Structure 1
């Protein structure tokens, strides 16, 4: 769809390297410190197979997202793609799924900050973190590209240290095979759905369509590169932590990476790991609240959410009402929810988001290979969503159902008035 000549345009300043860094910052910060424990609880040592399944589905989703972003280099991600390719309802459903799923992701990141910063007081620290980040965003202070790079390099260096210490330790406290006590196909698929939460950051690259140079080339390269690096990092860290803790102890851990380095006798490295986890989670929380509030603002501006959220602060030039609304909801979740529960719910909503992305990509071409990738991604999203923990599925269906009901009520009211 051609934009009006008067429509404001964002400056295209990001290349492949910056786009990959943004994707790594979202993915690595969002999952590696939080998702391994619930995945181990679901699949035992077979969580590595779940990681492989999640990576395959993520690749298909990344491929579909890259093709759509190259064709529609505008902000909004699947909210825009679904509207263009499938119709307004599917665009709305994707946007609603993104907002509620990523709001849960915000709570998960806040709880990760609490788990690593002050074990036993996770909820208190999480609420404080949300309040601080919301205030920072409200004042219009955003993470720069250099800050993003710094966080990514620091976290990668600490993860490399964790892998080195764990895999070279002579006394790990667990002497069984890494792939012991798997819980069958159901457990593997559930672990894959939970670990998918950690891969979802590549959507951040696709939503930068208006801010990258040569979107067709840049996005199509940045998404697979960021995904490949993330998969390698996750695989190494998962093997290292499983080798030290074993699946049972990993499943019970709230701060597994810190516990792993302490278990091999490197207590001095434990504070470094905790700092890295807090920095990574805070960086992700900042980006996530920023992205959710902007999507909320855009949907309110389009009339898909209450118009009261469609407001820009006259001094700070930020969507302040949307930011306060998102921050309030995240704070409530962080104060009351369980980390593993919000990860499962977030995965469900984001899998629906990518189901719509793959369905949109299916319409782009009649060629076999692109359609096979889109179909595989769509089927994978449905399967992983269905095998998530039952409470996550029930809550996911309920919240998405509320969004659908609101959409159709608004449509009926609009027709009756028009």
Structure 2
């Protein structure tokens, strides 16, 4: 297995955050020689020592396996990466700009300009980051201008579709692979770089660079629209005394609609959906088709409104004011099986209740460390029962299984008042009410 080998390519992964660490580890486990690259020496040191700096089920065990195999190493050197690799995956973050809805491409541009000057032989650079359409075309010019190998270096785009909490399975057994390529050679190199995945029968869409860039934002925009749609219906249900859960269950049985992402509640957060739909709308306006996706602004508005309406519901349950009331906040992460608190509705609601004078205590099975750093003014507890002690209301904000499995009769022994606001429509309302609890959720009568 050598450099430039026509068979199995050596892989580098530029950026070892959530996406990059997962990709590097899984590719090594699948049999590739992989070099992970990051500008943060501490992150490189931790990964090389077998310490995964993110919470993702199954990943720590795979990192140990990959390191023991000798196929996975980490470095801070782009020169070493260029010498080692045949296919270079760009996996750096593209967050929202601090003063705009646009995507911040600083890290991506820095990765390209750090790698390209060291590319002295034929190689394929593959973008996996989520970017505004047109980025790949621009970067192709940058790479060919900076790389000593010039036109022998090609750029392809292979968008990622990882779901936090299921990232290992989504990498090893994805439901599809999208290859945005400009040549047959690039397509062949990508197929060689994903051979074990393709051998499992994973379908491949071969397309152009621009279409590949659009796939991820188009998928996330659709999912965000579906979530906000049912939450808009919840607002209608509140106005007329209908029940949004029964409405959602009825819609889910229509095979044209389906039930996935049709769960009403607090809405979406995290590092992908919110920033992706904003960046997509921003880019569409830049290229003159903003009107075509103007509905995404309303999707975003509906989603943001869920947080304020949840706070209003808690206030209503508490008789009109949260001042001085003990509030148990169950959840901090934006979704279960994750420690990600980026744009999380859970902590947004908890912090708003705190600012309104509530005595808020937060518990989350995985995200407490991140939550404490981001919101040091909140109080935290050691368990669901710990934060619920003497609570005037329990508010479910992230639908972890540990919260869904709480026995309402047992919890009743520790709270001051049996009131629960289910921000995720995750609890069995009939069961909680049968145990003497006042159960409330947005859009439920």
TM-score (norm 1): 0.25
Greater strand content: 2
Q: Could you say which structure has the larger radius of gyration?
A: 2
Greater helix content: 1
